[in-house]
Structure 1
């Protein structure tokens, strides 16, 4: 019975972890069949550029959700960070890095402000960030004096629109892009091997070795194919380098650090975390400081991509980020979720949006589809929890 239970647990875990990846592959296959240009190098590059800021927000949002909170203000913080940067760089004539530092400082201050009300005063994050959504949107309008500011140009513009191309040569392709993606595949394979060895050491159930090898080969082939498409287009986008750094850093933080373990503990069982000596107020404060920081990074990326700042920038970004996390496997009750899952969830949103736009689907229909996908993702999570409880 124990062996059967282990196999069932392994199958259930693999379904949860791989289901969203299978869904992403199915979406890509469907849209590539329905619109031939979907898999063109230019369109794949555009997907990365157009939705990079949602990916950045999803990294911070999944940590917030794991901790048992929610943040409705990130779209307004994106707008405020971009507005402050534009006032300094576009209107004030300061160097690009002054705008970046100022926007980052604004994000950290916003995070500290909201973290204080949540962690110290004890107001639920939903209320604090709902107030923040209104407050920071109003501040954005005041900072910009209700007008748009553009263009940034120069180095600031290249943050989200520039490419690394030709540094290592290549005939008809960018060699650096292929090398970077090759290293990423090698890193993925190494992590998978280490995780498998650790699971075997602790006598945990693992998939059959041929299936394990097949998974690495398939993932490696898909990643290298994607890298080749970028290499033959415009090369390695600067914003993809930024995303890779953030994903690696925050994967380590959430999975390997004391702070990450404490976030999972608070979201999973708050009373137990308190009894275990976790400094709940400190961790909750840092969760929102980090969310403010990543919102500012997203604001810099978005304003760079748009080459300007607008009072209405960032509207509905919070909903896209939250949806990406839940589609990516985060639990509505907290304590469950991964950065990589949130990234796949965000890519599912990006692929759906891009594919429907290519097909000429109306905006209203796009919103309906996104809403249904989010609802089904959460329903799947609830269904799995009920089955686990029943057993």
Structure 2
């Protein structure tokens, strides 16, 4: 009787895949990289992975908020760039203190969110078209301002600003603390507050949310501005790290941020964007990047393998979601 009532082997394998598929792949990569190079599992290397993922996590948190509303934001890299540019210019040209410069950077990044909000809410442009338009406008502004795309360096920036990227608290890099704090705030707001439940309701069933009386337009405006301001914080860390503003540097993070969010969404039981899933997606990408670097592969081979692994991870996450 027990054998007759037990589920077929196919169903059991499917159940394991649905529940633990991504975790098994995650563990498989960790095991492989550790076997290839014992340095991979050393504490300092683990800290390097977390520290190297801080900027991407901050960017992905902003993307998570926008995707949760049912949209997409292709201008997160521009918000990052504006955050770095406004801060560097404030210190270099106006001799601003580091606090003022940081505020200027966040304000500069917020302009990107305001532009997106005007297009999406005011002019009813689709989020995809609106944010890609903001991307092209922001890219052109950067090229014009820098006379073709040259970097703006500031080697004598205040120590306080430099500490954003180089400082630490009890051995933990300050940028990791900043990223973790933002992740905690996003988790509380998106997963535990009334406002967060309204955001998810908009993302899943916007017509029903409107009928229920949820102020959709107001929430969208706040979401785009908050997301852009969050991405500007990532720009501050980047500027403090290399002591310069590099035009279009944020574009290199765009695809990874999208991938992290959608991997995290596919891992959620209801298939919705969530902070914990985004964190898992970012760490997965950080582990893959670090492991491939330790393997000593050349640049082109490493990029090709990264792309293949990224596509496979997304396909696996989507397959899990469909089976679930």
TM-score band, normalised by shorter chain: 0.7 to 0.9
Structure-2 residue corresponding to 1:345:
281
Give the alignment partner of residue 284 of structure 1, picking from 187, 212, 220: 220
Residue 12 of structure 1 deviates from its aligned partner by: 8.6
Give the alignment partner of residue 229 of structure 2, picking from 284, 293, 301: 293
Give the alignment partner of residue 257 of structure 1, picking from 193, 204, 219: 193
Structure-2 residue corresponding to 1:309:
245
Matched ranges for 1:65-104 at <5 A? 65-104=67-106
Cα pair 2:97 2:158 within 8 Å, conserved:
no
Residue 72 of structure 1 deviates from its aligned partner by: 1.1
What are the Cα deviations for residues 26-58 of structure 1, in whole angstroms up to 9, with x where unaligned? 322221211122223332232233221101011
Structure-2 residue corresponding to 1:61:
63
Cα distance in 1 for partners of 2:123, 2:106 equals: 25
Structure-1 residue corresponding to 2:259:
323
Structure-2 residue corresponding to 1:220:
none
Cα pair 2:80 2:235 within 8 Å, conserved:
yes
What TM-score comes out, normalization by structure 1 length? 0.72
Matched ranges for 1:163-178 at <5 A? 163-165=168-170
What TM-score comes out, normalization by structure 2 length? 0.86
Structure-1 residue corresponding to 2:165:
160
Residue 100 of structure 1 deviates from its aligned partner by: 0.3
**RMSD between superposed Cα atoms in Å:** 2.7
1:133 pairs with 2:145: no
1:349–1:63 distance in 2 versus 1, CA, 3 Å: same
1:74–1:346 distance in 2 versus 1, CA, 3 Å: same
SS in 2 for 1:282: helix
Structure-2 residue corresponding to 1:371:
307
Number of aligned residues: 310
Which segments of 5 or more consecutive residues in structure 2 lack a partner in the other structure?
1-5, 8-12
1:147–1:329 distance in 2 versus 1, CA, 3 Å: closer
1:33–1:320 distance in 2 versus 1, CA, 3 Å: same
SS in 2 for 1:127: helix
1:244 pairs with 2:184: no
Cα distance in 2 for partners of 1:115, 1:65 equals: 14
